[in-house]
Chains A and B, each alone.
Chain A
Protein backbone atom coordinates (compact mmCIF):
# COMPACT_ATOMS: atom_id res chain seq x y z
CA UNK A 1 0.00 0.00 0.00
CA UNK A 2 2.97 2.28 0.13
CA UNK A 3 3.06 4.91 -2.54
CA UNK A 4 6.79 5.48 -2.31
CA UNK A 5 7.59 2.56 -4.62
CA UNK A 6 5.27 3.75 -7.37
CA UNK A 7 6.84 5.76 -10.20
CA UNK A 8 5.71 9.37 -10.53
CA UNK A 9 2.92 9.70 -13.02
CA UNK A 10 2.28 12.94 -14.91
CA UNK A 11 -1.51 12.82 -14.95
CA UNK A 12 -3.84 13.02 -12.02
CA UNK A 13 -6.98 11.98 -13.90
CA UNK A 14 -7.50 10.20 -17.22
CA UNK A 15 -10.87 9.11 -18.51
CA UNK A 16 -11.85 7.46 -21.75
CA UNK A 17 -15.47 7.48 -22.86
CA UNK A 18 -16.59 7.65 -19.24
CA UNK A 19 -20.33 7.18 -19.16
CA UNK A 20 -22.72 7.12 -16.24
CA UNK A 21 -26.45 6.67 -16.52
CA UNK A 22 -29.00 6.64 -13.73
CA UNK A 23 -31.92 5.04 -15.52
CA UNK A 24 -32.70 7.36 -18.42
CA UNK A 25 -30.72 10.24 -16.97
CA UNK A 26 -27.22 10.62 -18.37
CA UNK A 27 -25.03 11.99 -15.57
CA UNK A 28 -21.75 11.72 -17.48
CA UNK A 29 -21.85 11.63 -21.26
CA UNK A 30 -18.81 9.70 -22.52
CA UNK A 31 -16.23 12.13 -21.27
CA UNK A 32 -12.58 12.01 -22.29
CA UNK A 33 -10.16 13.81 -20.00
CA UNK A 34 -6.45 14.02 -19.41
CA UNK A 35 -5.77 16.24 -16.43
CA UNK A 36 -2.29 17.05 -15.15
CA UNK A 37 -1.19 17.09 -11.52
CA UNK A 38 -1.59 20.26 -9.53
CA UNK A 39 -4.63 22.13 -8.29
CA UNK A 40 -7.53 21.15 -10.49
CA UNK A 41 -10.87 22.91 -10.47
CA UNK A 42 -13.93 20.88 -11.33
CA UNK A 43 -16.47 23.50 -12.19
CA UNK A 44 -20.07 23.38 -13.24
CA UNK A 45 -23.60 24.18 -12.16
CA UNK A 46 -25.54 21.88 -9.85
CA UNK A 47 -26.37 18.68 -11.70
CA UNK A 48 -23.49 19.05 -14.15
CA UNK A 49 -21.98 15.70 -13.10
CA UNK A 50 -19.17 16.86 -10.81
CA UNK A 51 -20.11 14.72 -7.82
CA UNK A 52 -20.79 11.72 -10.05
CA UNK A 53 -17.33 12.07 -11.57
CA UNK A 54 -15.75 12.28 -8.12
CA UNK A 55 -17.67 9.21 -6.94
CA UNK A 56 -16.48 7.21 -9.94
CA UNK A 57 -12.88 8.32 -9.45
CA UNK A 58 -13.07 7.29 -5.78
CA UNK A 59 -14.63 3.93 -6.63
CA UNK A 60 -17.84 4.78 -4.77
CA UNK A 61 -19.93 4.16 -7.85
CA UNK A 62 -19.41 2.17 -11.05
CA UNK A 63 -19.38 3.79 -14.46
CA UNK A 64 -21.91 2.54 -16.98
CA UNK A 65 -19.19 2.57 -19.62
CA UNK A 66 -15.68 3.68 -20.36
CA UNK A 67 -12.73 3.70 -18.03
CA UNK A 68 -10.97 6.01 -15.62
CA UNK A 69 -7.51 6.21 -14.13
CA UNK A 70 -6.33 8.27 -11.18
CA UNK A 71 -2.58 8.73 -10.69
CA UNK A 72 -2.11 6.06 -13.31
CA UNK A 73 -4.17 3.39 -11.54
CA UNK A 74 -7.44 2.03 -12.84
CA UNK A 75 -10.26 2.98 -10.48
CA UNK A 76 -12.14 -0.26 -11.11
CA UNK A 77 -9.36 -2.82 -10.93
CA UNK A 78 -6.82 -1.21 -8.62
CA UNK A 79 -9.26 0.50 -6.29
CA UNK A 80 -7.84 -0.68 -2.97
CA UNK A 81 -4.27 0.31 -3.75
CA UNK A 82 -5.40 3.55 -5.34
CA UNK A 83 -7.59 4.65 -2.44
CA UNK A 84 -4.59 4.48 -0.10
CA UNK A 85 -3.14 7.34 -2.18
CA UNK A 86 -6.30 9.45 -2.19
CA UNK A 87 -8.08 11.67 0.27
CA UNK A 88 -11.72 12.69 0.11
CA UNK A 89 -13.57 15.56 1.70
CA UNK A 90 -17.27 15.04 1.02
CA UNK A 91 -19.77 17.83 0.56
CA UNK A 92 -22.09 16.59 3.30
CA UNK A 93 -21.34 16.70 7.02
CA UNK A 94 -19.88 13.19 7.23
CA UNK A 95 -18.75 13.49 10.83
CA UNK A 96 -19.55 11.56 14.00
CA UNK A 97 -21.23 14.08 16.26
CA UNK A 98 -20.22 12.49 19.54
CA UNK A 99 -16.51 11.99 18.89
CA UNK A 100 -13.65 14.40 19.43
CA UNK A 101 -11.84 15.73 16.40
CA UNK A 102 -8.62 14.04 17.49
CA UNK A 103 -10.28 10.63 17.89
CA UNK A 104 -12.09 10.85 14.59
CA UNK A 105 -9.14 12.00 12.52
CA UNK A 106 -6.84 9.42 14.12
CA UNK A 107 -9.42 6.73 13.36
CA UNK A 108 -9.58 7.77 9.71
CA UNK A 109 -5.79 7.62 9.54
CA UNK A 110 -5.91 4.04 10.79
CA UNK A 111 -8.52 3.31 8.13
CA UNK A 112 -5.89 4.26 5.58
CA UNK A 113 -3.41 1.83 7.06
CA UNK A 114 -1.39 3.95 9.48
CA UNK A 115 -0.32 2.23 12.70
CA UNK A 116 -2.17 3.36 15.80
CA UNK A 117 0.54 5.49 17.35
CA UNK A 118 1.45 7.12 14.04
CA UNK A 119 -2.22 7.76 13.34
CA UNK A 120 -2.67 9.67 16.59
CA UNK A 121 0.51 11.65 16.00
CA UNK A 122 -0.51 12.50 12.45
CA UNK A 123 -4.01 13.48 13.61
CA UNK A 124 -2.58 15.96 16.09
CA UNK A 125 -0.19 17.38 13.50
CA UNK A 126 -2.82 17.74 10.80
CA UNK A 127 -5.38 19.28 13.14
CA UNK A 128 -2.72 21.78 14.06
CA UNK A 129 -2.12 22.47 10.37
CA UNK A 130 -5.82 23.18 9.74
CA UNK A 131 -6.06 25.44 12.77
CA UNK A 132 -7.79 23.15 15.25
CA UNK A 133 -4.95 22.58 17.64
CA UNK A 134 -6.73 23.85 20.75
CA UNK A 135 -10.12 22.39 19.90
CA UNK A 136 -9.06 18.89 18.93
CA UNK A 137 -10.26 17.29 22.16
CA UNK A 138 -13.71 18.85 21.95
CA UNK A 139 -16.74 16.94 20.68
CA UNK A 140 -17.40 17.65 17.02
CA UNK A 141 -21.09 18.30 17.67
CA UNK A 142 -20.15 21.57 19.36
CA UNK A 143 -18.16 22.81 16.36
CA UNK A 144 -19.18 25.64 14.04
CA UNK A 145 -19.66 24.94 10.33
CA UNK A 146 -16.19 26.28 9.59
CA UNK A 147 -14.59 24.06 12.21
CA UNK A 148 -16.46 21.02 10.88
CA UNK A 149 -15.16 21.79 7.39
CA UNK A 150 -11.65 21.89 8.82
CA UNK A 151 -12.13 18.51 10.48
CA UNK A 152 -13.31 17.11 7.17
CA UNK A 153 -10.24 18.54 5.49
CA UNK A 154 -7.99 17.15 8.22
CA UNK A 155 -9.33 13.62 7.82
CA UNK A 156 -8.85 13.91 4.06
CA UNK A 157 -5.13 14.64 4.36
CA UNK A 158 -4.21 12.87 7.60
CA UNK A 159 -2.73 9.87 5.77
CA UNK A 160 -0.64 12.14 3.52
CA UNK A 161 -2.39 11.35 0.23
CA UNK A 162 -0.95 12.24 -3.15
CA UNK A 163 -4.28 13.58 -4.35
CA UNK A 164 -7.21 14.89 -2.38
CA UNK A 165 -10.75 15.36 -3.72
CA UNK A 166 -12.57 18.28 -2.15
CA UNK A 167 -16.30 18.38 -2.85
CA UNK A 168 -17.70 21.89 -2.36
CA UNK A 169 -15.40 22.66 0.57
CA UNK A 170 -16.70 26.22 1.05
CA UNK A 171 -20.36 25.27 1.28
CA UNK A 172 -22.13 26.94 4.15
CA UNK A 173 -19.18 29.08 5.17
CA UNK A 174 -19.37 32.80 5.86
CA UNK A 175 -17.02 35.05 3.82
CA UNK A 176 -14.25 34.89 6.40
CA UNK A 177 -14.56 31.13 6.83
CA UNK A 178 -14.57 30.73 3.08
CA UNK A 179 -11.43 32.79 2.75
CA UNK A 180 -9.73 30.72 5.47
CA UNK A 181 -10.74 27.47 3.81
CA UNK A 182 -9.44 28.58 0.42
CA UNK A 183 -6.17 29.65 2.04
CA UNK A 184 -5.86 26.21 3.59
CA UNK A 185 -6.50 24.53 0.27
CA UNK A 186 -3.93 26.73 -1.44
CA UNK A 187 -1.46 25.82 1.27
CA UNK A 188 -2.19 22.11 0.94
CA UNK A 189 -1.35 22.28 -2.72
CA UNK A 190 1.48 24.81 -2.87
CA UNK A 191 3.27 24.19 0.40
CA UNK A 192 2.43 20.62 1.29
CA UNK A 193 2.66 19.43 -2.30
CA UNK A 194 -0.61 17.51 -2.30
CA UNK A 195 -2.50 17.48 -5.59
CA UNK A 196 -6.00 18.88 -5.23
CA UNK A 197 -9.21 18.37 -7.17
CA UNK A 198 -11.61 21.07 -6.05
CA UNK A 199 -15.20 20.52 -7.09
CA UNK A 200 -17.22 23.69 -6.87
CA UNK A 201 -19.91 25.74 -8.53
CA UNK A 202 -18.29 28.97 -7.37
CA UNK A 203 -16.03 30.50 -9.98
CA UNK A 204 -14.07 32.58 -7.50
CA UNK A 205 -13.05 29.53 -5.48
CA UNK A 206 -11.66 27.76 -8.51
CA UNK A 207 -10.03 30.87 -9.90
CA UNK A 208 -8.24 31.59 -6.65
CA UNK A 209 -6.96 28.11 -5.88
CA UNK A 210 -6.58 26.20 -9.13
CA UNK A 211 -4.18 26.24 -12.02
CA UNK A 212 -6.22 23.98 -14.29
CA UNK A 213 -9.95 23.88 -14.77
CA UNK A 214 -12.35 21.23 -16.02
CA UNK A 215 -15.81 22.56 -16.75
CA UNK A 216 -18.76 20.27 -16.87
CA UNK A 217 -22.26 20.97 -18.02
CA UNK A 218 -25.05 18.45 -18.48
CA UNK A 219 -22.56 15.62 -18.07
CA UNK A 220 -20.22 16.89 -20.79
CA UNK A 221 -16.80 18.46 -20.60
CA UNK A 222 -17.18 21.95 -22.04
CA UNK A 223 -13.62 23.06 -21.24
CA UNK A 224 -10.47 21.52 -19.83
CA UNK A 225 -7.52 23.86 -19.86
CA UNK A 226 -4.96 25.65 -17.74
CA UNK A 227 -5.97 28.86 -16.04
CA UNK A 228 -3.97 32.07 -16.44
CA UNK A 229 -2.37 31.26 -19.80
CA UNK A 230 -0.63 34.45 -20.93
CA UNK A 231 -1.02 33.97 -24.66
CA UNK A 232 -4.73 33.41 -24.36
CA UNK A 233 -5.91 35.43 -21.41
CA UNK A 234 -3.66 38.45 -22.03
CA UNK A 235 -4.28 38.69 -25.73
CA UNK A 236 -5.96 42.11 -25.61
CA UNK A 237 -5.09 45.47 -24.11
CA UNK A 238 -7.48 47.40 -21.93
CA UNK A 239 -7.16 51.18 -22.36
CA UNK A 240 -8.84 54.12 -20.59
CA UNK A 241 -8.37 57.73 -21.69
CA UNK A 242 -9.63 61.12 -20.64
CA UNK A 243 -11.21 63.53 -23.10
CA UNK A 244 -12.40 63.15 -26.69
CA UNK A 245 -11.51 59.70 -28.11
CA UNK A 246 -11.90 60.43 -31.83
CA UNK A 247 -8.34 61.67 -32.37
CA UNK A 248 -6.92 58.81 -30.32
CA UNK A 249 -8.89 56.21 -32.26
CA UNK A 250 -7.82 57.80 -35.56
CA UNK A 251 -4.16 57.68 -34.47
CA UNK A 252 -4.56 54.00 -33.66
CA UNK A 253 -6.20 53.32 -37.03
CA UNK A 254 -3.23 54.94 -38.75
CA UNK A 255 -0.99 52.41 -37.00
CA UNK A 256 -3.24 49.54 -38.06
CA UNK A 257 -4.81 48.95 -34.66
CA UNK A 258 -8.53 48.67 -34.16
CA UNK A 259 -10.09 49.61 -30.84
CA UNK A 260 -13.57 48.62 -29.72
CA UNK A 261 -15.45 50.15 -26.85
CA UNK A 262 -15.30 48.02 -23.71
CA UNK A 263 -18.46 46.77 -22.07
CA UNK A 264 -20.96 49.29 -20.76
CA UNK A 265 -19.92 48.41 -17.23
CA UNK A 266 -16.46 49.83 -17.89
CA UNK A 267 -17.56 53.29 -19.03
CA UNK A 268 -17.60 54.96 -22.44
CA UNK A 269 -13.92 56.00 -22.33
CA UNK A 270 -12.57 52.50 -22.10
CA UNK A 271 -11.49 50.45 -25.07
CA UNK A 272 -10.17 47.03 -25.84
CA UNK A 273 -7.43 46.82 -28.45
CA UNK A 274 -6.36 43.59 -30.06
CA UNK A 275 -2.68 43.01 -29.36
CA UNK A 276 -0.64 42.82 -32.54
CA UNK A 277 2.92 41.98 -31.61
CA UNK A 278 5.11 43.01 -28.73
CA UNK A 279 5.09 46.72 -29.74
CA UNK A 280 1.33 47.17 -29.42
CA UNK A 281 1.50 48.80 -25.98
CA UNK A 282 4.16 51.24 -27.22
CA UNK A 283 2.03 52.15 -30.24
CA UNK A 284 -0.97 52.83 -27.99
CA UNK A 285 1.13 55.01 -25.73
CA UNK A 286 2.48 56.97 -28.73
CA UNK A 287 -1.03 57.36 -30.18
CA UNK A 288 -2.22 58.87 -26.91
CA UNK A 289 0.68 61.30 -26.90
CA UNK A 290 0.23 62.32 -30.55
CA UNK A 291 -3.53 62.85 -30.16
CA UNK A 292 -3.10 64.76 -26.89
CA UNK A 293 -5.35 62.62 -24.70
CA UNK A 294 -4.27 61.61 -21.21
CA UNK A 295 -3.81 57.85 -20.94
CA UNK A 296 -5.25 56.71 -17.62
CA UNK A 297 -5.02 52.96 -17.93
CA UNK A 298 -3.09 50.51 -20.07
CA UNK A 299 -3.10 46.90 -19.01
CA UNK A 300 -3.70 43.42 -20.40
CA UNK A 301 -7.42 42.80 -20.81
CA UNK A 302 -7.45 39.54 -18.87
CA UNK A 303 -10.36 37.27 -19.38
CA UNK A 304 -11.81 36.01 -16.16
CA UNK A 305 -12.84 32.46 -15.46
CA UNK A 306 -16.39 33.72 -15.75
CA UNK A 307 -15.71 34.76 -19.35
CA UNK A 308 -14.18 31.41 -20.07
CA UNK A 309 -17.13 29.64 -18.49
CA UNK A 310 -19.73 31.59 -20.42
CA UNK A 311 -17.84 31.18 -23.70
CA UNK A 312 -17.54 27.44 -23.14
CA UNK A 313 -21.20 27.04 -22.32
CA UNK A 314 -22.23 29.16 -25.30
CA UNK A 315 -19.91 27.22 -27.58
CA UNK A 316 -21.73 24.06 -26.55
CA UNK A 317 -24.99 25.69 -27.57
CA UNK A 318 -26.44 25.94 -24.11
CA UNK A 319 -27.79 29.31 -23.12
CA UNK A 320 -26.37 30.67 -19.90
CA UNK A 321 -28.77 30.44 -17.02
CA UNK A 322 -29.69 33.35 -14.80
CA UNK A 323 -26.97 34.09 -12.30
CA UNK A 324 -24.18 33.16 -14.68
CA UNK A 325 -23.40 36.71 -15.64
CA UNK A 326 -20.07 37.86 -16.90
CA UNK A 327 -19.51 39.44 -13.54
CA UNK A 328 -16.33 38.22 -11.92
CA UNK A 329 -17.07 35.74 -9.18
CA UNK A 330 -20.58 35.00 -10.28
CA UNK A 331 -21.95 31.64 -9.23
CA UNK A 332 -22.04 29.21 -12.11
Chain B
Protein backbone atom coordinates (compact mmCIF):
# COMPACT_ATOMS: atom_id res chain seq x y z
CA UNK B 1 0.00 0.00 0.00
CA UNK B 2 1.52 3.30 -1.09
CA UNK B 3 1.18 6.57 0.75
CA UNK B 4 0.48 9.72 -1.17
CA UNK B 5 2.98 12.26 0.17
CA UNK B 6 0.90 15.19 -1.06
CA UNK B 7 -2.22 14.09 0.81
CA UNK B 8 -3.03 16.32 3.79
CA UNK B 9 -2.41 14.77 7.15
CA UNK B 10 -5.74 13.77 8.59
CA UNK B 11 -4.47 12.41 11.88
CA UNK B 12 -2.05 13.91 14.34
CA UNK B 13 -0.03 11.92 16.78
CA UNK B 14 -1.76 12.13 20.13
CA UNK B 15 0.36 13.53 22.93
CA UNK B 16 2.84 15.53 20.87
CA UNK B 17 5.01 17.84 22.96
CA UNK B 18 5.51 21.34 21.67
CA UNK B 19 8.21 23.74 22.80
CA UNK B 20 6.18 26.82 23.53
CA UNK B 21 9.31 28.94 23.59
CA UNK B 22 9.05 32.66 24.01
CA UNK B 23 7.52 34.88 21.38
CA UNK B 24 8.05 38.60 21.29
CA UNK B 25 4.86 40.59 21.20
CA UNK B 26 4.38 42.43 17.94
CA UNK B 27 0.66 43.06 18.18
CA UNK B 28 -1.07 46.39 18.71
CA UNK B 29 -0.38 48.54 21.73
CA UNK B 30 -3.33 50.66 22.67
CA UNK B 31 -3.08 54.13 24.12
CA UNK B 32 -3.60 55.59 27.55
CA UNK B 33 -7.45 55.75 27.21
CA UNK B 34 -7.54 51.97 26.78
CA UNK B 35 -5.33 51.55 29.84
CA UNK B 36 -7.62 53.87 31.82
CA UNK B 37 -10.64 51.82 30.85
CA UNK B 38 -8.80 48.60 31.67
CA UNK B 39 -7.91 49.90 35.13
CA UNK B 40 -11.46 51.15 35.74
CA UNK B 41 -12.90 47.81 34.62
CA UNK B 42 -10.47 45.79 36.74
CA UNK B 43 -11.10 48.00 39.78
CA UNK B 44 -14.89 47.71 39.42
CA UNK B 45 -14.71 43.93 39.22
CA UNK B 46 -12.41 43.72 42.24
CA UNK B 47 -14.59 46.10 44.25
CA UNK B 48 -17.67 43.91 44.03
CA UNK B 49 -15.77 40.67 44.45
CA UNK B 50 -15.66 39.37 40.89
CA UNK B 51 -12.76 36.92 40.44
CA UNK B 52 -12.25 37.03 44.18
CA UNK B 53 -13.24 34.61 46.96
CA UNK B 54 -16.97 34.36 47.63
CA UNK B 55 -16.66 36.22 50.94
CA UNK B 56 -15.77 39.37 49.01
CA UNK B 57 -19.04 39.17 47.10
CA UNK B 58 -21.43 38.94 50.07
CA UNK B 59 -21.90 42.55 51.13
CA UNK B 60 -22.00 44.14 47.64
CA UNK B 61 -24.60 41.66 46.51
CA UNK B 62 -26.63 42.09 49.71
CA UNK B 63 -26.78 45.79 48.89
CA UNK B 64 -27.83 45.00 45.33
CA UNK B 65 -30.56 42.78 46.73
CA UNK B 66 -31.68 45.48 49.18
CA UNK B 67 -31.90 48.00 46.35
CA UNK B 68 -33.64 45.73 43.88
CA UNK B 69 -36.27 44.25 46.23
CA UNK B 70 -38.29 47.51 46.45
CA UNK B 71 -38.07 47.77 42.65
CA UNK B 72 -39.41 44.24 42.27
CA UNK B 73 -42.16 45.02 44.76
CA UNK B 74 -43.12 48.23 42.98
CA UNK B 75 -43.24 46.50 39.59
CA UNK B 76 -45.18 43.55 41.03
CA UNK B 77 -47.76 45.76 42.72
CA UNK B 78 -48.05 47.79 39.55
CA UNK B 79 -48.75 44.61 37.59
CA UNK B 80 -51.61 43.55 39.85
CA UNK B 81 -52.93 46.93 41.00
CA UNK B 82 -52.20 49.38 38.17
CA UNK B 83 -53.93 52.28 39.89
CA UNK B 84 -51.79 52.06 43.02
CA UNK B 85 -48.50 53.89 42.77
CA UNK B 86 -46.48 52.11 45.43
CA UNK B 87 -43.27 54.08 44.97
CA UNK B 88 -42.53 57.21 42.97
CA UNK B 89 -39.12 57.83 41.45
CA UNK B 90 -38.44 60.68 43.86
CA UNK B 91 -39.41 58.54 46.85
CA UNK B 92 -37.20 55.74 45.61
CA UNK B 93 -34.19 58.02 45.27
CA UNK B 94 -34.91 59.42 48.74
CA UNK B 95 -35.17 55.92 50.18
CA UNK B 96 -32.04 54.34 48.76
CA UNK B 97 -29.40 57.03 49.15
CA UNK B 98 -28.38 55.52 52.52
CA UNK B 99 -27.72 52.22 50.77
CA UNK B 100 -25.81 54.10 48.09
CA UNK B 101 -23.70 55.71 50.81
CA UNK B 102 -22.94 52.30 52.34
CA UNK B 103 -22.14 50.92 48.90
CA UNK B 104 -19.65 53.72 48.23
CA UNK B 105 -18.15 53.28 51.71
CA UNK B 106 -17.46 49.67 50.73
CA UNK B 107 -16.19 50.07 47.19
CA UNK B 108 -14.17 53.28 47.38
CA UNK B 109 -11.58 51.87 49.83
CA UNK B 110 -11.38 48.75 47.68
CA UNK B 111 -10.66 50.99 44.70
CA UNK B 112 -7.73 52.97 46.09
CA UNK B 113 -6.80 51.95 49.65
CA UNK B 114 -6.04 48.41 48.51
CA UNK B 115 -3.55 49.67 45.94
CA UNK B 116 -1.72 51.58 48.66
CA UNK B 117 -1.85 48.66 51.06
CA UNK B 118 -0.51 46.25 48.45
CA UNK B 119 2.16 48.79 47.35
CA UNK B 120 0.82 48.70 43.81
CA UNK B 121 1.23 52.40 43.05
CA UNK B 122 4.88 52.22 41.87
CA UNK B 123 3.87 49.41 39.54
CA UNK B 124 1.05 51.45 38.02
CA UNK B 125 3.08 54.64 37.79
CA UNK B 126 5.95 52.83 36.09
CA UNK B 127 3.53 51.94 33.27
CA UNK B 128 2.40 54.37 30.57
CA UNK B 129 -0.78 55.13 32.49
CA UNK B 130 0.82 57.70 34.84
CA UNK B 131 -0.61 59.44 37.88
CA UNK B 132 -3.40 61.61 36.50
CA UNK B 133 -4.72 58.79 34.35
CA UNK B 134 -4.76 56.59 37.45
CA UNK B 135 -7.00 59.09 39.26
CA UNK B 136 -9.27 59.40 36.21
CA UNK B 137 -9.60 55.61 36.03
CA UNK B 138 -10.49 55.34 39.71
CA UNK B 139 -13.05 58.16 39.55
CA UNK B 140 -14.56 56.63 36.44
CA UNK B 141 -14.67 53.15 37.96
CA UNK B 142 -16.22 54.30 41.23
CA UNK B 143 -18.78 56.48 39.49
CA UNK B 144 -19.81 53.81 37.00
CA UNK B 145 -20.05 51.15 39.69
CA UNK B 146 -22.15 53.39 41.92
CA UNK B 147 -24.47 53.93 38.97
CA UNK B 148 -25.40 50.27 39.37
CA UNK B 149 -27.17 51.16 42.62
CA UNK B 150 -28.13 54.78 41.97
CA UNK B 151 -29.37 54.56 38.39
CA UNK B 152 -29.92 50.97 37.35
CA UNK B 153 -32.71 50.09 39.85
CA UNK B 154 -34.72 53.24 39.07
CA UNK B 155 -34.20 52.70 35.36
CA UNK B 156 -35.51 49.15 35.76
CA UNK B 157 -38.50 50.54 37.62
CA UNK B 158 -39.12 53.00 34.80
CA UNK B 159 -38.93 50.22 32.19
CA UNK B 160 -41.35 48.15 34.28
CA UNK B 161 -43.79 51.05 34.52
CA UNK B 162 -43.64 51.58 30.75
CA UNK B 163 -44.12 47.93 29.91
CA UNK B 164 -46.98 47.52 32.37
CA UNK B 165 -48.85 50.59 31.14
CA UNK B 166 -52.04 50.05 29.15
CA UNK B 167 -50.41 51.71 26.16
CA UNK B 168 -46.63 51.12 26.44
CA UNK B 169 -45.84 53.24 23.37
CA UNK B 170 -47.70 56.22 24.83
CA UNK B 171 -46.15 55.57 28.26
CA UNK B 172 -42.71 55.52 26.64
CA UNK B 173 -43.26 58.88 24.98
CA UNK B 174 -44.73 60.43 28.11
CA UNK B 175 -42.08 58.86 30.34
CA UNK B 176 -39.03 60.15 28.48
CA UNK B 177 -39.01 63.25 30.66
CA UNK B 178 -38.96 61.07 33.76
CA UNK B 179 -36.18 58.96 32.28
CA UNK B 180 -34.08 62.05 31.68
CA UNK B 181 -34.52 63.17 35.29
CA UNK B 182 -33.76 59.65 36.52
CA UNK B 183 -30.51 59.63 34.56
CA UNK B 184 -29.51 63.07 35.81
CA UNK B 185 -30.24 62.19 39.42
CA UNK B 186 -28.55 58.79 39.19
CA UNK B 187 -25.41 60.16 37.56
CA UNK B 188 -25.13 63.09 39.99
CA UNK B 189 -25.54 60.85 43.04
CA UNK B 190 -23.11 58.24 41.77
CA UNK B 191 -20.26 60.59 40.94
CA UNK B 192 -20.89 62.87 43.94
CA UNK B 193 -20.77 60.06 46.49
CA UNK B 194 -18.02 58.30 44.57
CA UNK B 195 -15.78 61.38 44.54
CA UNK B 196 -16.22 61.92 48.29
CA UNK B 197 -15.59 58.27 49.09
CA UNK B 198 -12.52 58.06 46.87
CA UNK B 199 -11.01 61.26 48.23
CA UNK B 200 -11.30 60.00 51.80
CA UNK B 201 -10.02 56.54 50.90
CA UNK B 202 -7.01 57.92 49.04
CA UNK B 203 -5.51 59.07 52.34
CA UNK B 204 -5.19 55.64 53.86
CA UNK B 205 -4.04 52.19 52.89
CA UNK B 206 -6.30 50.58 55.46
CA UNK B 207 -9.71 49.68 54.12
CA UNK B 208 -11.33 49.43 57.56
CA UNK B 209 -10.18 52.94 58.44
CA UNK B 210 -11.50 54.31 55.17
CA UNK B 211 -14.87 52.59 55.57
CA UNK B 212 -15.17 53.91 59.12
CA UNK B 213 -14.25 57.47 58.20
CA UNK B 214 -16.68 57.54 55.27
CA UNK B 215 -19.61 56.19 57.31
CA UNK B 216 -18.80 58.40 60.29
CA UNK B 217 -18.32 61.34 57.97
CA UNK B 218 -21.80 60.89 56.52
CA UNK B 219 -23.35 60.60 60.00
CA UNK B 220 -21.42 63.47 61.57
CA UNK B 221 -21.96 65.77 58.59
CA UNK B 222 -25.69 65.11 58.79
CA UNK B 223 -25.76 65.91 62.50
CA UNK B 224 -23.63 69.01 62.04
CA UNK B 225 -25.79 70.24 59.21
CA UNK B 226 -29.00 69.77 61.18
CA UNK B 227 -27.54 71.35 64.29
CA UNK B 228 -26.36 74.42 62.39
CA UNK B 229 -29.71 74.69 60.61
CA UNK B 230 -31.40 74.67 64.00
CA UNK B 231 -28.99 77.26 65.34
CA UNK B 232 -29.52 79.50 62.34
CA UNK B 233 -33.29 79.27 62.30
CA UNK B 234 -33.47 83.05 62.69
CA UNK B 235 -31.39 83.56 59.59
CA UNK B 236 -33.21 81.75 56.79
CA UNK B 237 -30.78 82.89 54.11
CA UNK B 238 -27.91 81.21 55.90
CA UNK B 239 -29.91 78.28 57.18
CA UNK B 240 -30.99 77.13 53.73
CA UNK B 241 -27.35 76.67 52.73
CA UNK B 242 -26.55 74.34 55.60
CA UNK B 243 -27.53 71.39 53.40
CA UNK B 244 -24.17 71.82 51.74
CA UNK B 245 -22.47 70.30 54.79
CA UNK B 246 -24.37 67.05 54.54
CA UNK B 247 -24.19 64.70 51.54
CA UNK B 248 -27.50 63.19 52.61
CA UNK B 249 -29.31 66.51 52.72
CA UNK B 250 -27.65 67.59 49.48
CA UNK B 251 -28.89 64.48 47.70
CA UNK B 252 -32.40 64.83 49.15
CA UNK B 253 -32.45 68.50 48.12
CA UNK B 254 -31.37 67.65 44.59
CA UNK B 255 -33.92 64.83 44.27
CA UNK B 256 -36.71 66.98 45.68
CA UNK B 257 -35.79 69.70 43.23
CA UNK B 258 -35.85 67.26 40.36
CA UNK B 259 -38.96 65.33 41.41
CA UNK B 260 -41.20 67.89 43.14
CA UNK B 261 -43.94 66.55 45.40
CA UNK B 262 -47.33 66.34 43.70
CA UNK B 263 -49.43 67.34 46.70
CA UNK B 264 -48.24 70.92 46.66
CA UNK B 265 -46.73 70.62 50.13
CA UNK B 266 -43.58 72.40 49.15
CA UNK B 267 -41.03 72.97 51.86
CA UNK B 268 -40.53 76.69 52.29
CA UNK B 269 -36.81 76.06 52.73
CA UNK B 270 -36.59 73.85 49.68
CA UNK B 271 -33.42 74.26 47.66
CA UNK B 272 -33.78 74.70 43.89
CA UNK B 273 -32.42 71.84 41.83
CA UNK B 274 -29.80 74.02 40.18
CA UNK B 275 -28.33 75.04 43.52
CA UNK B 276 -28.23 71.50 44.87
CA UNK B 277 -26.80 70.13 41.63
CA UNK B 278 -24.30 72.98 41.51
CA UNK B 279 -23.12 72.14 45.01
CA UNK B 280 -22.74 68.48 44.03
CA UNK B 281 -20.71 69.35 40.95
CA UNK B 282 -18.53 71.71 42.99
CA UNK B 283 -17.90 69.04 45.63
CA UNK B 284 -17.03 66.55 42.88
CA UNK B 285 -14.56 69.02 41.40
CA UNK B 286 -12.95 69.74 44.77
CA UNK B 287 -12.65 66.05 45.65
CA UNK B 288 -11.17 65.27 42.24
CA UNK B 289 -8.68 68.12 42.58
CA UNK B 290 -7.62 66.89 46.02
CA UNK B 291 -7.12 63.43 44.57
CA UNK B 292 -5.04 64.69 41.66
CA UNK B 293 -2.86 66.61 44.13
CA UNK B 294 -2.72 63.63 46.47
CA UNK B 295 -1.19 61.43 43.80
CA UNK B 296 1.31 63.93 42.45
CA UNK B 297 4.99 63.47 43.16
CA UNK B 298 5.98 65.46 46.23
CA UNK B 299 9.70 65.64 45.75
Contacts and interface: CB of A to CB of B under 8 A. Distances in A.
Interface string B102-146: 000000000000100011101111111110000000000000000
B27 A114 contact: yes
Given A79-B130, A98-B52, A112-B35, A59 B125 contact: yes
A184 to B, nearest CB: 12
A125 B22 contact: yes
B11 interface: no
A99 B123 contact: no
Interface residues of B, number: 37
Interface centre among A59, A86, A103, A114 (most CB of B within 10 A): A114
Interface in A79-98: 79-81, 83-84, 86, 88, 90, 92-98
Given A60-B126, A99-B52, A111 B20 contact: no
A90 B128 contact: no
Contact of B51 (A60, A99, A128): A99
Nearest to B25: A160
A4 B22 contact: no
A58 B125 CA distance: 9
Contacts, number: 118
A191 interface: yes
Contacts of A129: 22
Contacts of B129: 111
Nearest to A187: B22
B34 interface: yes
A128 B119 contact: no
A142 to B, nearest CB: 11
Contacts of A113: 29-32, 34-35, 128
A115 B24 CA distance: 15
Contact of A93 (B28, B42, B119, B297): B119
A110 B129 CA distance: 10
Contacts of A110: 34-35, 38-39, 42
Interface in A193-213: 193
Interface of B: 20, 22-32, 34-35, 38-39, 42, 46, 51-53, 56, 114, 118-120, 122-130, 297, 299
Given A83-B128, A112-B35, 4 more contacts: A97-B118, A107-B42, A111-B38, A125-B22
22 contacts: A1-B31, A2-B29, A55-B122, A58-B125, A61-B297, A80-B32, A92-B119, A93-B119, A94-B123, A96-B114, A98-B52, A110-B42, A111-B35, A111-B124, A111-B129, A112-B127, A113-B30, A114-B25, A114-B27, A115-B34, A125-B20, A155-B123
Interface of A: 1-2, 4, 22, 55, 58-62, 79-81, 83-84, 86, 88, 90, 92-100, 103, 107-108, 110-116, 118, 122, 125, 128-129, 139, 155, 159-160, 191-193
